Structure 1
Amino acid sequence: MSLKVGYESVPTEADHYFEQHRWEWQDRFLRGSTALYDPIFTPLFTSLFTTLGFSATTAALLGAGAAAIATTALAIGIQALLAPRPPKPEDGKVPKMQSVPYRWWGVGRNRVAGAYMLWEAVGKKLFAVQAIAGHRIKSINRYWLHDDEVTLQGDGTINSGTNYNTNVQIFSRLGLVPETDYPAITSALSGQGVWSSNHRGDGQASLGMICTSSNAEKQQKRFPYGPPQLSVEADMALCWDFRDPLQDPENPATWQWTRNAALIMAWHQCFNEFGHKRDYTRAILPVLDMWQEEADVCDELVPLAGGGNERRYECNGFDTTENDPKAATNAILASCDGWICERGDGALLFIVGKFREKYLTTLTDADIVGHQIEYDVLFEDECNRLIPKFCYPAIGYATSDTDFFEDTPAQLIAGRVLAQEANYQWVQQWRQARRLGKRDWLRLQQKVTGQINVRLSGINSVYSRWVKLEAPKMLPRLDGAIVENRKSVLSLLQGGFVMDIMKHPPNIDAWSPSIEEGSPPATPPRTDAGGIPTPVINLVQAKPNGNSVYIRVVIIDPDDETLIPVIRYRLANAGSGTPGPWIEQRFPNPVPAGGFIDMSTNVVPSNQLLDVQASFIASDGDYGNWSVTANVTATVDPTAPGVPVNMTTANASGTVTVSAKAANDNTRYLIFKRGTTGQTFTAATLIGQYNVTANQTITLTDTPGTGTWKYWCGAENISGVPSSTQASSTITV
């Protein structure tokens, strides 16, 4: 026998160790519990543990938790500083010039400049092409040269009224496949072999620019800052909305632009070319009901102090391929106070920041091996002031901060302010940043953090965001308390799992707009070339009036009586995703009050999503720059109808008769759906929608086939606002 064969047959030190301690480890992992384990994890990672010397049965059970990983957003503290982050919002305004630039991508609405693909001067002209996204985008809304906003004529030439006069021509492409080239650029450069019609940029959103120099006397006036740096406001990625049956995950042409944080997270995890590239049939579909509910929570309307409302969680941001996809994942989580967990079968559990008891599990003394809990913080880790940071479009898409949260008695004890920043850079609504900041502030105030070593019997809690501790022996000070599972990982040497926890504040979802909303961030005056300031919109609200609706717009008072405010609006989608024409209305005699100007438009299109902007007109009739675009749905009836009543189902030879009655209120539609008992109303199959009046009864028949079926009936008002819940009935055929 050769020495080589003999050497390879000798057990390694690790083999000796695992063989010697096999039974000790098996006893440590499995003792003290008769819990049933989720069979979805059982066949996974069996080979890993059998190589360590465990039996196949034990290895299968241990493998159940190996893929478990739960994480929350990192927005505060040293961990947030060390975590990878996307570029700052203000970094997107300057185009990058690199030999091989990183590709850009984005979601929601952002101001971006991308990276130069072409920079070539020929004679009196400068030609430039900038790639702003490595995927198709919805639209480009506004244009800036440096910080001067410009508007375009039909051929792309900028309108006069700025220093640049008409010496700049701008083009854009949305990233179709195939895309078209820029004829004005290719015709000038193709003969030199620099840029031809083959430079289309299929699937790449881009900008083109041609600058024409002036004579020596005017050159400095035309281009006071040197060659123009072009940036744009763009509505970026189209995402699959899994709540819409008309959208197909396999057909991106059916997708829509969105700011919904849950939809954006699903896109980034599964469909983003620069994201995690998971298989949506494994990551999303097995838990589709959960994702649909979280998307609905993001779209919930939160009342504002001045009237009206806004979506609970919106997300807008961009990143480059220089960063790992985890950087954007953390930014999305921070925008919605999110929590994400990968299950052993590859399914992603996702929960946004709104406590619901159905996501609460329990850990007992029998489930806990050990713990390390801190019931206070060191002085150097103390925080008595929290400053939320976010991206503020009103100051040119740059980082700003909201009113801070502070503990004055704690500052007096400490003798100074100990401030920390909460980074919500993919948030663009200052009120949303305040709501997120309050949630993090309340968690910090609990001052209870640590780790719990959890046996395999507590595996359900590893996959839950909130955990109730019933452990009077192991954790008497936290017995009965609810903690948040901030991060969970498999740890063989610790007896199963290690769970990072933070005590959950009991009133984390409480929000009083009149008290806690605060004030909008300070906005430095911004003027156009003629010295006309740009309005800052504080509030946009749809106001019903009978069967019609008008728009209330509140802007900050410029304290200049010579300026006439003007409001314009348009349909955000007049068909095929194209916005409608702008409609203007002037307000020549505004009455400022409390530092604001409050205006109400004429009647606007009902039950439509509108883009709204504001501007000022000077005494000479010149317009200033238009404000950042605000969106509002012109809802005629914002009051949700009542839940349908008297719902019944009856089976006769395989034909089910379904009946329900509209409530005695503003109900205008009854929606009937059928599904399995494990489905939700959102995921169920639509079987009928009927126009009704108050107290009207609708009866229909359905042949679902053999099985146990659940029927629902929901209500909507004339504006499509749904009832809070649905009537339901289950029947076996």
Structure 2
Amino acid sequence: MENRKTVIPFYRKPKGAGVFKSILILAILIATPASAGPILPLIQAAGTWLTATFGATVGAAIAQFGISFVVSGLIAAVSSKKMGGQQQLIRELLQPTSLPVQRFVYGKFRAPGTPAPVRVIDDILYGCFILNSRESAGPFTVYFDKREVEYTGNPYDFSGTGGVASNEPFVDHCNFWIGKGDQVSPPALILSEASEYFESTDGWRGLTVLWVRLDVGGNSKRQERWPATPPEVMVDGEWSLVRDPRTPLADPSYSSNQALCVLDALRDNPIRQYEDENLWLELFEWSADVAESDFPVKGGGNIKRFSINGILAFSENAELETLIEPMLNAGASRLIRVGGRLGMVPATYSAPVMTITDVFTDTAMNFEKSPPASTLVTEVTAKYTSPERMYETASTPVYVIPGAQAEDGGKRRLAQYDLDFISDHRQAQYVAAIFGRRARMKRSWSGTLPASAFDLVACSPVELDFPAPYHRQNGEYEVLSIHPGLDPIGKRGFAMRNVAELRENSEAIYAWNPATDEQDIAFEAFDPNIGGVKLPGDITTVSDASTVLISGDLSVARILFTFAPSLSKSVTAYEWQFKESGGLWQTGGSIDKESLNGSGDIFAFLAAVKIGTAYEIRVRAVGTNGASEWVYSDPVTVSAGSYLAPAPTPISAVGGSGDIAVTFKTPNDNDFRAFETWGANSDDIGLASLIFGPIYAAPNTSFTQVESGLTGGQIRFYFARSFDRNGQASPFSASISATAS
């Protein structure tokens, strides 16, 4: 879009200048921060530069004169179909290997143990499992084959018996010790019993490890206790000890702060460590503030906005920036490089720090309003690591971006993002929404900006405010890249030019209302028991007209209960019991495993129950290997459905000496079986009490009853109701009254 004759305040090359030749300052000044020294005073004080650059006061910095661009994290990679992420990594780390993978465990996570030396002497297994390739915070909880090991003693004391298992099936068969990285040798007990396999120098100092002494035990419970040899070891706890640039003199401490964990990976990784002089620490401090800010959730209260919980595994053949990409995605953050220094920009909105009205027009301006439709998503979901599902991969509910589908002509486009370092579905839902909205930012612009844009770097928020006919390009953007350069002007000097690429930006990208945007997730309880009979499914109960047994003139109210069969192949039948709520359990009987309904569920009826009474039912599976635990139903109140017979009709009430004779006529209905008469001193059924009945009678018949023992002048109001063949009561009739004399 070039128009050199249009009268608008765009920069143009001065007359007499030679052929334009851009000299990128990167080639001259990118080497070290010191090289920018002579230029800084010509720009502005370093203490205010970050404010002018990002619109946030994040401390002082040294402006680096060179190319600035987004390194990673602009838009999260859409999930691939292949298996991967934390779930796959955990499986790999559980396998024994001659050269254990170096890994950093961040946040609160359940880390797998990689078998290092594992040896068996008679019926005792001795071994060490590597958990983290450096020191860790703790405390920790140990799991064998997904079952928690409860213990007595001190697992951090290598001089004694360590943690001694106290729960079944491990009691009397397990000792374990946890080295948080400060251990110097194996546990003394292991050295004394297995000195031919372990030496005092085998301490794995500097690494977090789990040492075990496992007794195979007798044959009766061996398979239940140790279904695999060695067992699958998982250790849950708080891992990452990281430095915080906001408190540079403090020792490393535990944190799951996303920005601090990313900074830690850059500083302390075993591949290529970044020195602080090559990092823009002020941006990491800003990102840490955003990450630890309160994030309101639907259930009330707050969580931290961006946390990291997961394992970073290192590979010599992988680029560090690629390895930490999933950590950046956990907070929808971006890495930027500015003149050789690496910084991190958090996922938060900043208002434009500069309004651009002038550009050079002797180079092309490119404006794209609508990218390919395939890049525009209308709804998003995310894969995250779920603690509630034993740290396996789970998916968030689909979040529909408001108005997106209508804006795109009604076509749905779903994007799924890999967020393996997130372990809270609420954070995952929010981050996925950010990525989806970013992907919908349709407008992009590129061109050459004047010297006033020198302060801008990648991710700086700006506003374009061009006059007509370029006003359609106006709006909020953020910088994707900017290349400062010098343009020679005759023999007198240089004009600064900034070749920039911009992308649309909006405050709406980061908007989130937990009450309407956050979606609930149902979690299933996990049963880690091994070897026993598995539970049947949850019990569903129904008691209404559909469950009534009718035989001729006889009706019996019942409770139908159903449940999914146990998954154990050894099950032969199901035992069940019942009780009135608050009462004692009574034997219900046995249900054959083949008693299946059309949905494949086991079913049975509880009969001989009282309408209006609440009952509870419990069921367990019985097989050749014993019985499962009981599964309990919620209380269910017996009902035969809606009443079938209407209320009696009031006929008369006649006062006598100390009594009243009241007459009701039963309904002319074949479903009628009996009626009751209630009385009160006022016209309020809520204050009435039963005085006659139930009286079993024929339909369409008048009955007179006399209430005696009344005082002269006492007014009484009477109500009646019917009972049908199912025992269901009708509503009460209208009242009728009289006064005793």
Report the equivalent of 1:659: none
Report the equivalent of 1:167: 173
Paired residues, number: 478
The 1:455/1:126 distance shift into structure 2, 3 A limit, reads: farther
Aligned mates of 1:418, 1:464 — CA distance in 2: 27
Write the deviation string for residues 535-570 of structure 1: whole angstroms up to 9, x where unpaired: xxxxxxxxxxxxxxxxxxxxxxxxx999xxxxxxxx
Report the equivalent of 1:229: 232
Aligned mates of 2:247, 2:289 — CA distance in 1: 12
User: Retained in 1: the 8 A contact 2:380–2:416?
Assistant: yes
The 1:490/1:398 distance shift into structure 2, 3 A limit, reads: farther
Write the deviation string for residues 442-487 of structure 1: whole angstroms up to 9, x where unpaired: 22333335766768874433344323234558965322x2223346
Aligned mates of 1:72, 1:138 — CA distance in 2: 30
Report the equivalent of 2:184: 179
1:269 alignment partner, one of 266, 271, 277 = 266
The 1:303/1:490 distance shift into structure 2, 3 A limit, reads: same
Report the equivalent of 1:198: 201
Aligned mates of 2:454, 2:298 — CA distance in 1: 43
The 1:64/1:216 distance shift into structure 2, 3 A limit, reads: closer
Instruction: Say yes or no: does 1:427 pair with 2:394.
Output: no
Amino acid at match of 2:514: P
The 1:198/1:453 distance shift into structure 2, 3 A limit, reads: farther
Report the equivalent of 2:595: none
2:256 alignment partner, one of 255, 259, 269 = 259
Write the deviation string for residues 684-733 of structure 1: whole angstroms up to 9, x where unpaired: xxxxxxxxxxxxxxxxxxxxxxxxxxxxxxxxxxxxxxxxxxxxxxxxxx
Report the equivalent of 2:194: 189
Write the deviation string for residues 345-388 of structure 1: whole angstroms up to 9, x where unpaired: x5443321111237567484228944555433435444232102
User: Retained in 2: the 8 A contact 1:151–1:159?
Assistant: yes
The alpha carbon displacement at 1:334 in A equals 1.4
The 1:212/1:454 distance shift into structure 2, 3 A limit, reads: farther
Report the equivalent of 1:103: 102
Aligned mates of 2:17, 2:101 — CA distance in 1: 51
1:404 alignment partner, one of 375, 391, 398 = 398
User: Retained in 2: the 8 A contact 1:108–1:316?
Assistant: yes
1:128 is paired with a residue whose SS is strand
Aligned mates of 2:151, 2:125 — CA distance in 1: 18
The 1:215/1:294 distance shift into structure 2, 3 A limit, reads: closer
The alpha carbon displacement at 1:502 in A equals 3.3
Aligned mates of 1:496, 1:333 — CA distance in 2: 32
Amino acid at match of 1:146: D
Report the equivalent of 1:152: 151
Write the deviation string for residues 204-234 of structure 1: whole angstroms up to 9, x where unpaired: 1111122222344443232234431111113
Aligned mates of 1:190, 1:161 — CA distance in 2: 29
The 1:112/1:451 distance shift into structure 2, 3 A limit, reads: farther
The alpha carbon displacement at 1:95 in A equals 1.5
Write the deviation string for residues 49-103 of structure 1: whole angstroms up to 9, x where unpaired: xxxxxxxxxxxxxx9765634334266345x759x99942463265232221221
Instruction: Say yes or no: does 1:516 pair with 2:517.
Output: yes
1:327 is paired with a residue whose SS is helix
Aligned mates of 1:175, 1:209 — CA distance in 2: 16
1:244 alignment partner, one of 244, 247, 252 = 247
Aligned mates of 2:472, 2:260 — CA distance in 1: 39
Q: Which TM-score applies when normalising by structure 1?
A: 0.56
Write the deviation string for residues 265-318 of structure 1: whole angstroms up to 9, x where unpaired: 332222x1336422225525xx54x44333222222222333211222222221
User: Retained in 2: the 8 A contact 1:86–1:328?
Assistant: no
Aligned mates of 2:210, 2:242 — CA distance in 1: 22
1:350 is paired with a residue whose SS is strand
Report the equivalent of 1:387: 381
Amino acid at match of 1:440: F
Aligned mates of 2:469, 2:72 — CA distance in 1: 26
User: Retained in 1: the 8 A contact 2:23–2:485?
Assistant: no
User: Retained in 1: the 8 A contact 2:271–2:314?
Assistant: no
Residues 537-616 of structure 1: matches in 2 within 5 Å?
none
* Identity percentage of aligned residues: 17
Aligned mates of 2:219, 2:484 — CA distance in 1: 70
Report the equivalent of 2:297: 304
Report the equivalent of 1:320: 313
Aligned mates of 2:218, 2:421 — CA distance in 1: 44
The 1:408/1:263 distance shift into structure 2, 3 A limit, reads: closer
Report the equivalent of 2:457: 462
Aligned mates of 1:85, 1:463 — CA distance in 2: 33
Amino acid at match of 1:352: P
The 1:222/1:95 distance shift into structure 2, 3 A limit, reads: same
The 1:230/1:77 distance shift into structure 2, 3 A limit, reads: closer
Aligned mates of 1:524, 1:491 — CA distance in 2: 59
User: Retained in 2: the 8 A contact 1:108–1:317?
Assistant: yes
Residues 673-712 of structure 1: matches in 2 within 5 Å?
none
Aligned mates of 2:83, 2:356 — CA distance in 1: 34
Aligned mates of 1:382, 1:515 — CA distance in 2: 23
User: Retained in 2: the 8 A contact 1:454–1:498?
Assistant: yes
Amino acid at match of 1:333: L
User: Retained in 1: the 8 A contact 2:68–2:481?
Assistant: no
Q: Which has the larger radius of gyration?
A: 2
Aligned mates of 2:314, 2:220 — CA distance in 1: 43
Amino acid at match of 1:149: E
Aligned mates of 2:454, 2:514 — CA distance in 1: 39
Report the equivalent of 2:279: 283
Amino acid at match of 2:324: T
2:222 is paired with a residue whose SS is helix
Structure 1: 5+ residue stretches without partners: 1-22, 47-62, 249-253, 534-559, 563-617, 621-733
1:231 is paired with a residue whose SS is strand
Aligned mates of 1:508, 1:391 — CA distance in 2: 24
Amino acid at match of 1:262: A
2:90 alignment partner, one of 81, 86, 92 = 92
Write the deviation string for residues 602-634 of structure 1: whole angstroms up to 9, x where unpaired: xxxxxxxxxxxxxxxx999xxxxxxxxxxxxxx
Aligned mates of 1:182, 1:232 — CA distance in 2: 18
Amino acid at match of 2:262: M
User: Retained in 2: the 8 A contact 1:137–1:236?
Assistant: yes
The 1:273/1:457 distance shift into structure 2, 3 A limit, reads: same
The alpha carbon displacement at 1:435 in A equals 1.9
User: Retained in 1: the 8 A contact 2:381–2:429?
Assistant: no
Q: Which TM-score applies when normalising by structure 2?
A: 0.56
Aligned mates of 1:255, 1:367 — CA distance in 2: 52
Write the deviation string for residues 306-334 of structure 1: whole angstroms up to 9, x where unpaired: 32112222222211122432234322321
The alpha carbon displacement at 1:196 in A equals 0.6
Aligned mates of 1:342, 1:377 — CA distance in 2: 26
The 1:264/1:224 distance shift into structure 2, 3 A limit, reads: closer
Amino acid at match of 1:357: A
The alpha carbon displacement at 1:489 in A equals 7.4
Structure 2: 5+ residue stretches without partners: 1-15, 39-62, 154-160, 487-495, 537-577, 581-628, 632-741
Instruction: Say yes or no: does 1:211 pair with 2:214.
Output: yes
2:393 is paired with a residue whose SS is strand
Aligned mates of 1:387, 1:427 — CA distance in 2: 13
The 1:471/1:414 distance shift into structure 2, 3 A limit, reads: closer
Report the equivalent of 1:124: 123
